[in-house]
């Protein structure tokens, strides 16, 4: 049984999100031996870990525009290539000095910021509307998959080799992904020679939105209370998520006298300890999704389920 070709697009997009988070969290583990080697203070560690998001928030805003103008395939592909290259050369910049490392982390953020706007732009053209929720949910699961993989494998690489190899190997992984992405995906399904005629007709009939998006003035948007509520909820969620992603390995490794768990980086328990919250998060997402769908099917209003 041959799967629809659009499933390949979804899977490669899932891998892109996974690699995005692998390369985002790898420094959260590598920073432990790096701090010991370079003698950075806790304040300097905070600057290093947060500098990524200065670049990230910029291209996150303009990523959708770039994907619409140049095509999601090119923007996501080149973005991943760029941040993979910066990942590979991170050790060189770390040895060059603190501010050079901060600079390369900002550039990495610029590369990664286009990830989500790009694949959403591709899905708007590739994925039929009645499949889109599941496709988006599966692709977003790459966040948890990449975090789990990045945490666990980074710790194993450091234990077996050194922290530099975390960046070398994970950077090469992104370049390897680009080969398949560039060969298999097009921004528009009409340009893909691998699609069957039936699948192309299905996508053309069901994927594009039947209505054009209305033009909403920005001032009117920020005065809209539901929008403000969603924005604040997203801000609070991301604040805790990104703090968690950045500092969990360091918290697990820090001595008990300093408020940490005191688990050695090269211990098997370290890997287990940093994976527990991630696995619980995956489980809660799955249960929460089924619970929400179940409540809606039983007649509960969607807005009430969302508020829960």
| Model pLDDT for residues 41-64, shown as the tens digit of each residue | 999 999 999 999 999 988 888 888
Look at residue 213 and tell me if it is in a domain. Answer: no
Neighbouring CB atoms inside 10 A of 263's CB total 21
User: pLDDT at position 1, please?
Assistant: 59
User: pLDDT at position 220, please?
Assistant: 85
For residue 65, what are its two tokens?
């525009």
Residue 63's CATH number: 1.20.1250.20
Look at residue 254 and tell me if it is in a domain. Answer: yes
Look at residue 35 and tell me if it is in a domain. Answer: yes
Pair 248, 241: CB distance under 8 Å: no
Residues of the chain with pLDDT under 50: none
Q: Write the DSSP assignment of 80-123 as a string of letters.
A: HHHHHHHHHTHHHHHHH-HHHHHHHHHHHHHHHTTHHHHHHHHH
**Is the CA virtual torsion 50, 51, 56, 62 positive or negative?**
positive
**What digits encode the pLDDT tens for the residues 184-208?**
999 888 888 888 888 888 888 887 7
- Domain holding 280, by residue range, is 5-207+219-307
Q: What's the domain count of the chain?
A: 1
């Amino acid at each position: 049984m041959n799967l629809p070709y659009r499933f390949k697009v979804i899977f490669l997009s899932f891998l892109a999100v996974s690699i995005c988070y692998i390369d985002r969290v790898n420094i959260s583990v590598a920073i432990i031996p790096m701090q010991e080697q370079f003698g950075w203070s806790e304040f300097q560690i905070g600057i290093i870990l947060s500098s990524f998001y200065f670049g990230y928030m910029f291209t996150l805003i303009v990523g959708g525009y770039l994907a619409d103008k140049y095509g999601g395939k090119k923007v996501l592909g080149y973005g991943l290539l760029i941040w993979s290259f910066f990942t590979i050369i991170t050790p060189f910049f770390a040895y060059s000095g603190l501010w050079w490392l901060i600079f390369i982390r900002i550039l990495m953020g610029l590369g990664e910021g286009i990830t989500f706007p790009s694949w959403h732009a591709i899905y708007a053209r590739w994925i039929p509307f009645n499949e889109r929720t599941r496709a988006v949910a599966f692709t977003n699961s790459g966040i948890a998959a990449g975090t789990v993989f990045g945490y666990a494998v980074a710790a194993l690489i450091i234990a077996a080799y050194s922290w530099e190899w975390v960046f070398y190997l994970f950077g090469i992984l992104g370049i390897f992904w680009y080969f398949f992405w560039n060969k298999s995906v097009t921004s528009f399904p009409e340009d893909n020679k691998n699609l069957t005629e039936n699948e192309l007709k299905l996508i053309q009939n069901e994927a594009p939105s039947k209505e054009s998006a209305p033009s909403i003035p920005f001032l009117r948007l920020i005065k809209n209370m539901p929008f403000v509520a969603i924005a604040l909820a997203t801000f609070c969620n991301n604040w805790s998520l990104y703090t968690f992603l950045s500092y969990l390995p360091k918290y697990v490794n820090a001595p008990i006298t300093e408020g940490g768990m005191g688990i050695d980086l090269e211990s098997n328990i370290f890997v287990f300890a940093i994976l527990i919250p991630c696995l619980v998060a995956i489980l809660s997402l799955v249960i929460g999704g089924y619970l929400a769908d179940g409540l809606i099917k039983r007649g509960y209003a969607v807005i009430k389920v969302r508020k829960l």
